Chains A and B, each alone.
Chain A
Amino acid sequence: DVKVTQSSRYLVKRTGEKVFLECVQDMDHENMFWYRQDPGLGLRLIYFSYDVKMKEKGDIPEGYSVSREKKERFSLILESASTNQTSMYLCASTLNYEQFFGPGTRLTVL
Chain B
Amino acid sequence: QKEVEQDPGPLSVPEGAIVSLNCTYSNSAFQYFMWYRQYSRKGPELLMYTYSSGNKEDGRFTAQVDKSSKYISLFIRDSQPSDSATYLCAMAGAGTGAQKLVFGQGTRLTINP
Contacts and interface: CB of A to CB of B under 8 A. Distances in A.
Contact of B100 (A45, A96, A103): A45
Contact of A50 (B8, B43, B98): B98
Contact of A41 (B98, B101, B105): B105
B92 interface: yes
* Residue among B36, B49, B103 with max Cβ neighbours from chain A (10 Å): B103
B6 to A, nearest CB: 8
Interface residues of A, number: 25
Nearest to B104: A42
A15 B43 CA distance: 26
Interface SS majority for chain B: loop
A45 B8 CA distance: 19
Nearest to A50: B98
A45 B92 CA distance: 14
A43 B3 CA distance: 13
Interface in B34-88: 34, 36, 41-46, 49, 88
Interface of B: 8, 32, 34, 36, 41-46, 49, 88, 90, 92, 97-101, 103-106
Interface of A: 4, 31, 33, 40-43, 45, 48-50, 56, 90, 92, 94, 96-104, 106
